[in-house]
Structure formats: structure tokens, C-alpha cells
Amino acid sequence: MTPQIKTILYTTALSSYTRPVLRFAVGLAKQYDAKIVLLHAVEPLSNSVRFLMDNYLPPEKVEELHREATSGILEKFHRRLELFCAEELSSTLEQTKVISEIRVLSGIPHEVILKEADRCNADLIVMGSHAGSSGLGDYLGSTSRRLTLLSKRPVLIIPFVRGTENEWPSQRVV
């Protein structure tokens, strides 16, 4: 039985290997006549950063920095992803049928990805990961590793190999 893939959740960290992994996801979507929901998770400030801010800055400055950071950062990432997709697909989002939605959410990445996969009823999660030198642990970052352990949905991880920033990803799919 051939798997039915109608919705692909493509999650990106917006790193140097974003382009080849998006190309891979678009190729899959076209092959299966599926739509892509593109997701970027913005990590919240760590506890140590919050501690430093609280202890070294006046309370009004901490509040101001927090407001500035949260008010515009999600919108900026969203615009960046729209421009990236338009550039990569040579069309605007309105002109393409492959990318149905771009979502930029704040939270712990693996938790955001799992919630979004449920929300959009994804049949497959596609993401990139840095390829290391030896062993499976070197191929998977912490988010990739957690997703493979916690997801109820298939997770396709495309390894990034240095020097392939603008090329098709390696055929070694973990």
C-alpha cells in the first residue's frame, strides 16, 4: 500500500541548509500532490538570559526589551520566510499551490512542531539536520532526536553535508 501524503509539515531553523531541504520537500509535495505547511519555531529566552536581564538591567528596561523582542520578531521571521519562498520557488505564495501556509510560532521547537503537526494533520514531517562525522547521534540535533522519539507521525530528516548549501541534499536520508 502506498502512503497517502496530502500534508507535509516542513520545519526549518533558517540555517544554511534550508534551501536544499525546502527543494526536497517541494519535490515530495509535487510527487504526492500534497501541500506544505512551512513552520519556524522561535525559541523563548533561556532562563539564564532572563536571570541576567533581571539582575543587571532596571525593570523598565527589561520590560521594554521584552516588548520589542516579542512584538516584531515573529512578523520579521514570517516576512523572511515569505521572501525566501518567493525567491526559491520563483513565484509569490499566492501563485504557488505547493506552500499552503507559513507559520512562525514561539516556543520550544520540538513541542511547537508536534502541536503544529496535529493542528494541520500532517502526514509527514520534513526537516534538515547537520550531518556529523560518525554515528547516528552526530546526524541528529536535539530537536530532530526528540521528534523521532516523540512523534506519532513519520519524520523525514534530510542530512546537511558541508559544501552543499546550494545543492540537492545528500541521498543519505536518516
Q: What is the DSSP string of 65-105?
A: HHHHHHHHHHHHHHHHHHHHHHHHHTS-TTT-SSEEEEEEE
CA 114 to chain centre: 12
- % residues pLDDT > 70 (the chain): 74
Start-end of H helices in 90-167:
109-119, 136-139, 142-150
Alpha-carbon distance of 59 to 53, in angstroms, equals: 9
Statement: residue 134 has pLDDT above 60 = no
Instruction: Read off the pTM.
Output: 0.76
In contact, 88 and 23? CB cutoff 8 Å:
yes
For the stretch 146-171, pLDDT in tens is 888 899 999 999 887 655 454 544 44
DSSP letter assigned to residue 124: E
Contacts of 119 (CB under 8 A, 6+ apart): none
In contact, 127 and 21? CB cutoff 8 Å:
yes
CA 147 to chain centre: 12
Alpha-carbon distance of 52 to 21, in angstroms, equals: 36
For the stretch 99-133, pLDDT in tens is 989 999 888 899 999 999 999 999 999 998 765 54
In contact, 41 and 14? CB cutoff 8 Å:
no
Where in the chain are the domains? 7-160
Q: Does CATH number 3.40.50.2300 belong to domain 7-160?
A: no
Rounded mean pLDDT of the chain?
79
* Residue 46, pLDDT score: 66
